[in-house]
Amino acid sequence: MQLSTTRLGHAVHALIDILPLNHPADASLSRYFRNNHELGPKDRAFVAETVYAVLRRKRLLEHLAAPHTSPRHLILALLAKVQGLSLRELEPLLHKEENEWLKQVKAVPTDNLPLAVRVDFPDWLTERLVERMPEEEILALARGMQHSAPLDLRVNTVRANRDEVLAILKRDGIPAEATPFSPVGVRIMEKPAINRHPLFLTGKIEVQDEGSQLLGYLVAPKRGEMIADFCAGAGGKTLLLGALMHSQGRIYAFDVSEKRLTQLKPRLKRSGLSNLHPQLISNENDIKIKRLAGKLDRVLVDAPCSGLGTLRRNPDLKWRQKPQDIEELTQKQAAILTAAARLVKVGGRLVYATCSILEEENERIVEAFLATHPEFELRAASEVLAQQNIPLDTGKYFKLAPHLHGTDGFFAAVMERKS
């Protein structure tokens, strides 16, 4: 993409808005674009890619650019050292004194840096990963998180099938392929404005990471069942569950966020599903839930979490999350799982999922739950997927990571209530 002083200036100003990190980066960036509506699609793409690349490698860039760590210095260090642009290419954009400094940046050795700088994680996160993974694996995980994510789509099987969608995308010059694991997934390596495409407008596709799609296959609801998506949010997984049920039966989509449930409404309308019942709850013990105790066939708990599995899309999270936030989240996760479990009938299924890579939000929550709820037993996630002809074996738990599966980082445990 062509560099210009104007584009660079916008990237710097957008980064100035984002870097206090008081708000999610995507929200700060959208506000910047709203306030600078003269920017065309290519300018926006440059600004977005550049500021996200800085967020991914912030720690390394601060090291390279020191003692200058202003947003402009970080961006120049990114372009020169991480993206490998030559000083000749950058020269027209540089202030006089930056030339000499950038030469020094280029010469900074990057071997033998501390692990936390190489992986570009905060110390507290690096320390937690070191406790349970060899260094090579942490490096591979970090590298996987440092690329931007492809655009994954889910075919809404109530309205279309995957071959038809692939053929239409091909006809329209959008290179796409079937995802390797999800039977309803389509992967696009480019970033077209898919939400203006007729396939999207007519509800034949939704945007959804392949890993998130696979969670629906762990729940595996059947036609006519009664199920709940306990933390439904804007309905990414609820809509897939509805399609897996062929729009028959009943899905309660609970959430404590009115805003998110409101975002579900237009998606629901596009989807053509008629078996979804969004319900705002005040907390996990809301009276509306109590009447369903022991009645549901399946319950999905897609718990609020640190989101550290989604660093490809939200690299700011690694700088915004603090150990104390994780502590608070784990208490919430345990409370929600316990409350949601009460709805599951004998013989029914409970799926606990997060998009985190931290053991304390994942295995430890499930193990503590199983220790105090002997009426539930774990089912191997790989078996549940194999029954649906999805050949993905990550052991008893479902665990995905970008460097291994090309998806965001996900965790899930499938439990069943013994008869």
Q: Is 234 among the residues that bind ligand SAM (CB under 6 A)?
A: yes
> Between residues 333 and 394, which has the closer beta carbon with respect to ligand SAM?
333
> Between residues 12 and 299, which has the closer beta carbon with respect to ligand SAM?
299
Rounded to whole angstroms, how far apart are CA atoms 271 and 286? 28
Q: Which of 154, 237, 270, 313 binds ligand SAM (CB under 6 A)?
A: 237
Q: Are 307 and 356 in contact (CB under 8 A)?
A: yes
Q: Is 256 among the residues that bind ligand SAM (CB under 6 A)?
A: yes
Dmax of the chain from CA atoms? Answer: 76
Q: Is 302 among the residues that bind ligand SAM (CB under 6 A)?
A: yes
* From 245, 305, 355, 414, the catalytic residue: 355
Q: Which of 230, 369, 376, 410 binds ligand SAM (CB under 6 A)?
A: 230
302 is in an annotated binding site: yes
Q: Is 231 among the residues that bind ligand SAM (CB under 6 A)?
A: yes
Q: Which of 284, 316, 408, 416 binds ligand SAM (CB under 6 A)?
A: 284
Q: Which of 13, 23, 63, 260 binds ligand SAM (CB under 6 A)?
A: 260
Three-class DSSP category at 92: helix
Three-class DSSP category at 158: coil
Q: Are 303 and 333 in contact (CB under 8 A)?
A: yes
255 is in an annotated binding site: yes
Binding piece for ligand SAM, criterion CB under 6 A, among 173-181, 227-235, 396-404, 407-415:
227-235
In the block, residue with structure tokens 């784990």: 330
Binding piece for ligand SAM, criterion CB under 6 A, among 31-39, 54-62, 83-91, 233-241:
233-241
What residues between 313 and 342 interact with ligand SAM by CB under 6 A?
336
Here the tokens at position 258 are 């009115």
Nearest approach, Cβ of residue 315 and ligand SAM (Å)? 18
Q: Is 236 among the residues that bind ligand SAM (CB under 6 A)?
A: yes
Q: Is 283 among the residues that bind ligand SAM (CB under 6 A)?
A: yes
What own/partner pairs with CB < 8 Å and gap ≥ 24 does 390-398 have?
Answer: 390/181, 390/182, 390/183, 390/214, 390/217, 391/181, 392/181, 392/214, 397/362, 397/363, 397/366, 398/214, 398/215, 398/218, 398/353
Pairing of strands 226-229, 296-302: parallel
Nearest approach, Cβ of residue 136 and ligand SAM (Å)? 30
For CA atoms 221, 237, 407, 358, give the dihedral sign: negative
What residues between 399 and 418 interact with ligand SAM by CB under 6 A?
none
Residues with Cβ within 8 Å of residue 31, at least 6 apart in sequence: 17
Q: Is 32 among the residues that bind ligand SAM (CB under 6 A)?
A: no
Angle at CA 303, nearest 5°, toward 358 and 404?
Answer: 45
Rounded to whole angstroms, how far apart are CA atoms 57 and 80? 13
Is 231 noted as a catalytic residue in this protein?
no
With CB atoms as reference, the residue minimizing the distance to ligand SAM is 236
> Between residues 146 and 208, which has the closer beta carbon with respect to ligand SAM?
208
For residue 413, list its beta bridge partners.
352
Numbered residues of the known binding site: 255, 302
Q: Which residues are catalytic?
A: 355
Numbered residues of the known binding site for S-adenosyl-L-methionine: 255, 302
Judged by the rule CB under 6 A, the positions of this chain that interact with ligand SAM are 212, 230-234, 236-237, 254-257, 260, 283-284, 302, 304, 336
